[in-house]
Amino acid sequence: MTMAETPASPEVTSAAPRRRSTATDVALVAAFAALIAACTVIGGVPVGGAGVDITLQTFGVLLAGCVLGAARGFLAVVVYLVLGAIGLPVFAGHTGGLSAFTGVSAGYLWSFPVAALLAGFLVQYVFRARRTRAAFVFVAAMAGTALNHACGIVGMKLYLDSTWEQAIKFDAPFWVGDIVKALLVAIVAAEVHRAFPRLLGR
Amino acid sequence: MARIELDSASVTAPGADGDLTILEPTTRTLTEQRIGVIGANGSGKSTLVRLLNGLVSPSTGRVLVDGLDVARQGAAVRRRVGFCFTDPAAQLVMPTCVEDVELSLRRSVRDAGERRRRALEVLDRYGLAAQADLSVHSLSGGQRQLLALAGVLATGPSVLIADEPTTLLDLANTRRVADVLFGLEQQLVLVTHDLELVRRCERVLVVERARVRYDGPADAAVADYLSTVPG
Amino acid sequence: MNPAYLFGVYQPGTTVLHRAWVGAKVGALAVFSLAVVLVRSMPASFGFLAIAVLAAAVARVDLRLLVRSLRPVLVVAVIFAALQWLLYGPVKAAETLVDLLALALAAIVVSSTTPVNAMLDALIRWIRPLRRVGVDPERVALTVGLAIQALPGTVALAIETRDAARARGVRHPRAFLSPFVIRVVARAHETGDALHARGIGDD
């Protein structure tokens, strides 16, 4: 089969064998840092018919892990946090700066890179070829979500000086939205891996 | 002039039903100063020129630039072969014009003051001196492409590959960019859909269905290409 | 996307805090935050808030910016304070509210008096010792710079893809998220090629 039978499209060029280069890794890490920022600042997305709006920040974080794998996903989230820390308005509510790192929900924020790392590790090294199937990516995304919530609970316990039980109760309502977001991550990441089969290849 | 050699170089990619041939084995020696490459979208011409500086590796065969193997001595080849892309937005990576040119000079000029002086010189040469400290987002499309060219030419490559550099530009900007390209002392490999531009090349390759179907003087090549286009 | 978007919360000025060394400001904020979290007493909480308010006054932080930046923090703080009032009574609730306010205010003071570039330069300087464990500060600077460059374009791409999905009458977020993410990945490959062609990553 030659190129003549395939429709002309940008995918043709991206199918060409390219060497895995550090330049592409740098570009992907930067692009996903910007993607997490975009997901956070474009605001609520209506989910289903319930009329519940969610921000897509954790969607972006877990997606970075599930699409880029452990190392690059971790770095993309770190770069995103750096963008916010140096004062760009990339955090929820169009704010930036260091206040997000010292607030009551700081535990969630600090755990983002590790959550992406864990989800990325599972997709890259445990599920490997099965990463094009949403069910497997969902398991990885849920592992990241659980870690994120655990750290969030620890953070709230420290900041609010509450008991573990109370901190867990404060955290509980956020689970619903985060399970929906993990589902979205799974669907989207599986599609991206089908479109770019070499993204995590070696 | 540099000497570019393709020695039965082919490119294949794994597809859903077996391997896709993106470029059939191609053997050519390119030594002319201005070389044009024309052909339909998806014909393989972008892949052909991407072979020349190692953005794509040959699946079989070899590609040599001045005797250097592109696959094995990639870094040395890329110092000789500059590459300019279609969309300037994808290749401008620093916030201001002068910083973007400085990025190219980072490795060859260690001293920061000297690097800035050289970058400003390069901008001046391409008529962008007044824009030096402006954001790359504030430039017009033509200025952006000139800046992308300046960034590539700053390091003094002996070959410039330009992959449809004028496709996104209006007529006036196409002329400005073309004047820069055809005013270069360096060897130029130009991929384009602009048949007016390609007539200014000494040698033109017509690529169709993953192979070079014609190779010769510009007028004959354009006639050959037009004969393949229905209607 | 409005380019003003990229200026973030920094406000130009010439106050003592604007001219102070970035390292000192960030270091002080870290110590302050730790103290607020560790010291649990009502008088101390008001003391911390007084310090933060004083700093904001010295830095002449714009009131509108202050309100805009504090709003999300304040919403969360009020919710938690209300919960604590129910659970532990008013004293504990007030302490929590005052603590969270002091933390947010102090952080805003640092961010609003330090330009993005100065923060970035300081960060690159601080990670220089990490060179020994394989971190290349120049590559970090390039990556962060690239991400900043990509911000407005990526936000525009997200909005464009969302509008395209809406124009076709598709409400499910998946219909716009997949094309959006695929376009981001494709564009990153183009940028990677351009960087690669310029010899970046060869060293």
Mean predicted lDDT score pLDDT of chain C: 81
- pLDDT, tens digit (0-9, with 9 covering 90-100), for C104-139: 888 888 888 887 777 778 888 888 888 888 788 888
* Inter-chain CB proximity C3 and B85 less than 8 Å: no
Is A190's pLDDT higher than 90? yes
Long-range interactions of C67-70: CB distance < 8 A, separation 24+: C68/A94, C68/A95, C69/A95, C69/A97, C69/A99, C69/C9, C69/C104, C69/C108, C69/C112, C70/C101, C70/C104, C70/C105, C70/C108
Is C70's pLDDT higher than 80? no
Q: Scanning every residue of chain A, which has its alpha carbon at the shortest distance from the alpha carbon of C184?
A: A31
Q: What is the pLDDT of residue A6?
A: 36
Tell me the shortest Cα–Cα distance from C41 to chain B, in angstroms: 47
* Inter-chain CB proximity A34 and C150 less than 8 Å: yes
Q: What are the backbone angles phi and psi of residue C8, rounded to the nearest 5°?
A: 65, -145
Is A69's pLDDT higher than 90? yes
pLDDT band at A177 (very low <50, low <70, confident <90, very high): confident
pLDDT band at A7 (very low <50, low <70, confident <90, very high): very low
Could you tell me if A2 lies within 8 Å of chain B, comparing CB atoms? yes
What's the whole-number mean pLDDT along residues A193-199? 88
User: Considering only CA atoms, which of B196, B198, B192, B194 is closest in space to residue B216?
Assistant: B198
Tell me the percentage of chain A whose pLDDT exceeds 90. 41
* Inter-chain CB proximity B90 and C195 less than 8 Å: no
DSSP, residue by residue, B210-231 = TEEEEEE-HHHHHHHHHHHS--
* Inter-chain CB proximity A18 and B18 less than 8 Å: no
* Inter-chain CB proximity A18 and B54 less than 8 Å: no
| Domains of chain B, each with CATH number or no CATH | 4-226 (3.40.50.300)
Could you tell me if A172 lies within 8 Å of chain C, comparing CB atoms? no
Q: Which one of C153, C187, C202 has the shortest CB-CB distance to B75?
A: C202
Is C146's pLDDT higher than 60? yes
pLDDT band at A141 (very low <50, low <70, confident <90, very high): very high
- Residue B61: list chain A partners with CB under 8 A: none
Q: Per mean pLDDT, which range of A55-59, A156-160, C76-80 is the poorest?
A: C76-80
Take residue B230 and report the two structure tokens written for it.
């229905």
CA pair distance B117, A70, nearest whole angstrom: 41
pLDDT band at A173 (very low <50, low <70, confident <90, very high): confident
Which of A73-87, A89-103, C5-19: highest mean pLDDT? A73-87
**Neighbors of chain C with 3 or more C-beta pairs under 8 Å:** A, B
Residue linked to tokens 């319930």: A50
Tell me the percentage of chain C whose pLDDT exceeds 90. 10
Which H or E element spans position A108? helix A106-121
Could you tell me if B111 lies within 8 Å of chain A, comparing CB atoms? no
Is B127's pLDDT higher than 70? yes
Q: Per mean pLDDT, which range of A95-109, B112-126, B162-176 is the poorest?
A: A95-109
- pLDDT, tens digit (0-9, with 9 covering 90-100), for B141-187: 889 999 999 999 998 899 999 999 998 889 999 999 999 999 999 99
CA pair distance B125, B119, nearest whole angstrom: 10
Cα distances (Å, whole numbers) of residue C59 to A4, B78, C12, C19, C64: 65, 50, 10, 10, 14
Other Cβ atoms within 10 Å of C40 Cβ, number: 12
Cα distances (Å, whole numbers) of residue A70 to A4, A58, C92, C125, C132: 38, 16, 41, 26, 22
pLDDT band at A2 (very low <50, low <70, confident <90, very high): very low
What's the whole-number mean pLDDT along residues A12-34? 73
Could you tell me if A23 lies within 8 Å of chain B, comparing CB atoms? no
Is A50's pLDDT higher than 60? no
pLDDT higher for C153 or A45?
C153
Is C6's pLDDT higher than 80? no
Q: Which one of B82, B106, B137 has the shortest CB-CB distance to C3?
A: B137
- pLDDT, tens digit (0-9, with 9 covering 90-100), for B49-92: 999 988 888 999 999 999 999 988 888 898 899 999 888 877 88
For A24-195, CATH gives 1.10.1760.20
What's the whole-number mean pLDDT along residues C152-166? 81
Is A13's pLDDT higher than 70? no
Q: What is the ipTM of this complex?
A: 0.82
Tell me the percentage of chain B whose pLDDT exceeds 90. 62
pLDDT higher for B104 or B198?
B198
pLDDT higher for A102 or A189?
A189
Mean predicted lDDT score pLDDT of chain B: 90
User: What residue segments make up the domains of chain A, in order of their start?
Assistant: 24-195
CA pair distance B139, B141, nearest whole angstrom: 7
Tell me the torsion sign for CA atoms C49, C50, C55, C56.
positive
Q: What is the pLDDT of residue A94?
A: 55
Is B43's pLDDT higher than 60? yes
Give the number of beta-carbon pairs within 8 Å between A and C.
Answer: 225
pLDDT higher for C12 or B16?
C12
Q: What is the pLDDT of residue B59?
A: 92
Question: What's the per-residue H, E or C state across chain C?
Answer: CCHHHHHCCCCCCCCHHHHCCHHHHHHHHHHHHHHHHHCCCHHHHHHHHHHHHHHHHHCCCCHHHHHHHHHHHHHHHHHHHHHHHHHHCHHHHHHHHHHHHHHHHHHHHHHHHCCHHHHHHHHHHHCHHHHHHCCCHHHHHHHHHHHHHHHHHHHHHHHHHHHHHHHCCCCCHHHHHHHHHHHHHHHHHHHHHHHHHCCCCCC
